[in-house]
Structure formats: C-alpha cells, structure tokens
Amino acid sequence: MMKLLRKHRHWLMIVIAILAIPFVFYFVQRPDYGAIRSDQFARVYDRNVSMIEAQQTVRLFNLAQALGMSDFVQSLTVGAGQNQNQVYAQFVLNLLVLRHEAARLGIRPGAPEIADRVRDLPAFRGDAGFDIKKFSDFVQNGLSPNGLGEEHIELLVRDELSLNQIKQLLAAGVSIPAAEIKANYDRAYDVLSVNLIRLRPADFEKDIKITDEDLRKYYDAHKAELKTEEKRKVEFISLALSEEQKKLTGKERIEALQKLSDRANDLTQALLERGADFEAVAAKFQLTVQQSGEFTATAPDPKLNVDPQLGGTAFKLSPQEPNSDPIQVADGFYILHLTGVVEARPLSIEEAKLKIAEAIKNSRARELTSTKGAEIVHQLREAKKSGQPLDAAIQKSGAKIEKVPSFSLLEETPPRGENKAKKESPELMGIKDAVAYMNPGDISDFFPSEEGGLIAILEKRETPATANNTEKKAAFENRLLNNKRQIVFYEWLRDRQRAANAQFVKG
C-alpha cells in the first residue's frame, strides 16, 4: 500500500521582540467537557454528535493530512497541543463550526473552483502539474481501503475553500498604521551593539560555608528523595550484521536487516511459550548469551553502550515480564532478559553528605548570583541617572564587560546557494529579548543564561545599509498583516466556538 506522507505543520513565526502578541493558543477555546450519553461524542449547536459521526470526521482529518492540506488542518486544530485525542476533538468541533458559519454566510464554492483546487493538491502534483496517475493511485490505495471515495476529497476541498473565503472576509478590515509598521521594521533590522556583564555561580562558590546543621536540615527536608540508584543486571542476545554485511547499502542492507528482524521475532515468540528459559531458547537458535554487570539508569553497563535505548529498556523490564521485545540498533537487534534487581534504598546522612553539600552549594551560588546581578543593575542605573560614565560604574562594581558581535533582532535569510547565516549562540535569543525595546545606554534586568546570568547594555542602534530596500519593507509589512489576520481569525473562531455551546463527553 502506498505510504501517505504527513506534512509537518508550519507556524507563522515572528520574533517576540518584533511584535509582541499573545500565543494563538490563548484565542482558542478548549472543549467544555460535560456529562453526555456514552454513545455520543458531543453536543454542538443543540444537536447530538454521535461517536460514529466523530470517527468519520477524524478520517477526514487523516485524509486532509495525506492530501497535503497543512494550512487547513493547522487552522482547525490550533491550540490543541500535543495530545492526539485533543487534536481530533478540536478538528471535529471546528469543522462543525466552519460548516455552520459557511452556511449562515451563504458561502458555497462552485464545482469548477473545487475541481481546480483538487488538481492543485500537493498529493496529486508532479513535475508537470496535475498527475492523473498519482490521483488514481491515491484513490485506489489511500481511499478505498479506508472506506473513503473521491467525494470525500471534494468535501474537504469545499471546506477548505469556505475557510479561505471566511478568512478573506475577516481580513478585509485589518490594517496596521504606517507609523507602527515603520517602528517595528526599524526595531527588527537595526544593527545592535551590545555589551554583556556575565555572572557565573562558580564565581561565588568560594564564599559559601556549609555547616553540619545545614546538612542535617537539608537531609531531614529531603529524606524521601535521597536514595541510592536502583541497579539492574541483564542477559542479552545480539543479532548483528557481519562485518561484510555492515558495508552494504540500500536495498541489500534492508534485506539483510529484515532477515535479522524475522529471526529476532521468532526468538521472541519462542520466549513467550510457557516455561521458556532464556538461555535454552538462545541455545536452540544457536546464539550466544552475554551478561552485563550491575548498572544504573544514569550509568549503563559498557556492553549496552551500543545504543541508549538498551539501558532504558532494561529499566522497563520486571520479574513478571523479564524479556524485552527486539530492540533495533544500527547494525542489528538486541533482546534483553532481566536477571537481577537491586532496589533503591534510603541513604544515611553520611552516605548522602557529598550529594547534600553539592545541592546546597549550587542553590546558594545561584541565589548569590541573582542577588549580585540585581545589585549591579541598580548601581549602573543609578550611575546613569547621575550622569556618571558607565565604564567607571562598571569598573567600580567589579564586573567585566564582554562584547557581543553586532546583530539584528531579525536576521536576514541568506540567498539560496550561499552558506547559512552564522550560528547563534545558545543565549542570543535571550539577549535579543532583553534589548529589543531598549534605547542606547539602557541597562537590562539581570536575566538567566545557561552558565548563570547576564546583564545586557545596549551601546548603540544603527540603521543598516539595506534599510530602504523597498522589497524588504513590503515583505515585512505583509508578514505583520498576515500575523494580525491570523489573530483576527482565531478570535473569530473562539467566538464562534462559544456560540456553538459545545459539550464533549469526558474521555
């Protein structure tokens, strides 16, 4: 059967520093669960939606994904999060809302418009445009086995076209003042020169003194958490490609791995028989059983370092179910058998002493770092108010300045074929967020970083040479408008959900 590729959702991304907007999740109402009969899925617009109807709509959701209708799916599932059932529930509700509102507004796309869109769907496009073979294969292999027909494609396309018309109606009144666009454009592309003051917790550790009383208090408060690590011991079988087979590529490698997979599955099946012995089954398959030493979840046995999932799987086994399923690694498969468990036990205060001291030291170092950061910010801002040079105030505080390479809040995408833009440091997004609305000479609050915390000082803000690029400005304005239109649509959708008075069955 033809495999249907699912498209990843593409969210409209605009840096917070350019235009601060609430997350679209805020605008979408999650289902209001109520007590409804168990054979019903929901009650919407004062009518019952059966489980069968909901399941049919979920099949349309899967069909829309397979057809490449990513914008349509995204618009009707926004705010659903990662829970797949929540995604389905949102899609069912929003599709009902969409159809209700389209009918209320008198929106009904015509047959020619639907046909044109069907021919343009990503799933049916080839190098020369619409590919009738792809369409036929999809109908035969993607629709018929799932109880769907061509009419379901047309139904989804009609819904998509209705959605687009509603979005166009909502967008008609959306505008952004020219002054606001200019301010956001300048803020996005101005070249910023920033100095940093970096504070690290390690710099404060030498001043931390820990007493026996501190250790005892921490131990008493965290006794339940202070335990040894559970240890495991396993036997395992490895079914691996030979050295010659490891050199194979493409179809030949896949076939070799498939043979190993079949053998591993046969072995697993044999282990499921009543009274099956791991070593005896391995001997029957002429395989060698290897043993690990005792190991913990954080420090797996060296023999299991072939792949991280081996150690993780070992800690999912139990005396009742001691055998794992086949675990695929780069060059074969492993099957594990649990042979021993050393349960975690509470640590005595002497055993936990080093761990406690480290925890106290780290906690106090972070507190001292944060306190010192706030003090420096206050000193520098007071110095600025009084007209003192910042350099002198920084030197007086004992801090050191670190120069950051100049950057813009919105970095330009390099033309196709050129090298990618310089890699951002892990903390650069935090720096951008801190200085986005600052004026030259301003001092940011102390904010956390991977190594401790930072204070950013905006030295200067310069207009780039490409500031008056007409094409660039137009693209930016279009981006802002699209973003605002999205917000308007999600507000409308949230309002229409309320009007639908949806109540969902729990679970």
3-state secondary structure 40-63: EEEEECCEEEEHHHHHHHHHHHHH
How far is 507 from 333, CA to CA, in rounded Å? Answer: 37
The pLDDT of residue 22 is 40
Q: How far is CA 445 from CA 47, 378, 402, 456, 490, in A?
A: 54, 9, 16, 8, 33
Q: Could you tell me the fold of the domain covering 24-175+483-505?
A: Triger factor/SurA peptide-binding fold (1.10.4030)
Q: 226-258 burial by CB neighbour count: b if 16+ within 10 A, else e? A: beeeebbbbbbbbbebeeebeeeeeeeeeebbe
pLDDT tens-digit readout, 44-53: 898 998 888 9
How far is 60 from 155, CA to CA, in rounded Å? Answer: 9
DSSP 145: G
Structure tokens that stand for 314 in this block:
């070992």
Q: Residue 349 burial (CB < 10 Å; 0-12/13-18/19+)?
A: middle
Q: How far is CA 480 from CA 28, 173, 380, 439, 492, in A?
A: 21, 14, 36, 23, 18
Q: 72-99 burial by CB neighbour count: b if 16+ within 10 A, else e? A: bbbbbbbbbeeeeeebbbbbbbbbbbbb
Beta strands in 253-380 (DSSP E): 289-291, 327-329, 332-342
Whether 24-175+483-505 and 231-342 share one fold: the answer is no
476 contacts: CB under 8 Å, gap ≥ 6: 181, 184, 185, 188
Q: Which residue in 98, 88, 99, 82 sits closest to 58, CA to CA? A: 88
Q: Could you tell me the fold of the domain covering 231-342?
A: Chitinase A; domain 3 (3.10.50)
**Successive 10-residue mean pLDDT values, the chain, 507 residues:** 30 35 40 49 88 90 93 90 86 94 94 93 89 89 84 94 95 90 90 94 91 95 94 95 90 90 93 93 94 94 92 94 93 95 95 95 94 95 92 90 91 56 74 94 94 94 86 89 92 92 72
CB hemisphere CA count around 220 (13 angstroms)? 6
Structure tokens that stand for 405 in this block:
């390479």
Structure tokens that stand for 52 in this block:
């069968």
How far is 389 from 399, CA to CA, in rounded Å? Answer: 15
Q: Could you tell me the fold of the domain covering 191-209+350-462?
A: Chitinase A; domain 3 (3.10.50)
How far is 438 from 445, CA to CA, in rounded Å? Answer: 11
430 — phi, psi (to 5°)? -65, -40
The pLDDT of residue 383 is 93
| Dihedral over Cα of 369, 375, 376, 377: its sign | positive
| β-strands 32-34, 47-50 pairing | unpaired
| β-strands 327-329, 332-342 pairing | antiparallel
How far is 442 from 458, CA to CA, in rounded Å? Answer: 6
The pLDDT of residue 422 is 58
DSSP 333: E
Domain segments of the chain: what residues? 24-175+483-505, 191-209+350-462, 231-342
Is residue 405 within a helix (H) or strand (E), and if so which, with residue range?
strand 401-407
Is-contact 255 196, C-beta < 8 A? no
How many C-beta neighbours within 10 Å does residue 267 have? 21
Q: 359-375 burial by CB neighbour count: b if 16+ within 10 A, else e? A: ebbeebbeebbbebbee
How far is 249 from 228, CA to CA, in rounded Å? Answer: 45
423 — phi, psi (to 5°)? -70, 130
